[in-house]
Amino acid sequence: MKPNVGDFKKYLRQIYHWYAYYHSQYPKGTAVARIVFPYNPYKKYFWSKTIGHGLPLEPVSEAWVEDEFWDFISDDKNSMAHIKAIFEQIKDEGILEKKFDALFN
């Protein structure tokens, strides 16, 4: 899904709500919230191709795209390339096709 301008405003509002809720429960706590785009549908830099360059969201400090998110989750580098390679392997080996055939035949 490619977000539109109105979506970015909603995302920023959501981040503010998360912070407000967190700090109402834990006034002395520290929270870090991000909107995540786990997949970049563009062949180029996400923010340059996105309507309005993603404003009002700030890249990295308020929103992560692809490897920024997956590298954090996996504690590894270049995670999206690994994920894509796994999906290619699954496709090439017909793993899902065999599972579906076994289920429905």
Q: What is the distance between the alpha carbons of residues 81 and 24, in angstroms, rounded to a whole number?
A: 39
Percent of the chain with pLDDT over 90: 63
Please list the helix, strand and coil fractions of the chain in percent, rounded to the nearest 5, in that order: 60, 5, 35
Provide the sign of the torsion angle of the four alpha carbons 22, 26, 27, 32, taken in this order: negative
Q: Is 26 helix (H, G, I), strand (E, B) or coil?
A: coil
Average pLDDT over the chain, rounded to whole? 90
The angle subtended at Cα 32 by Cα 30 and Cα 37, nearest 5°, is 170
Q: Is the pLDDT of residue 73 over 80?
A: yes
Say what the pTM is: 0.78
Q: What is the distance between the alpha carbons of residues 72 and 83, in angstroms, rounded to a whole number?
A: 14
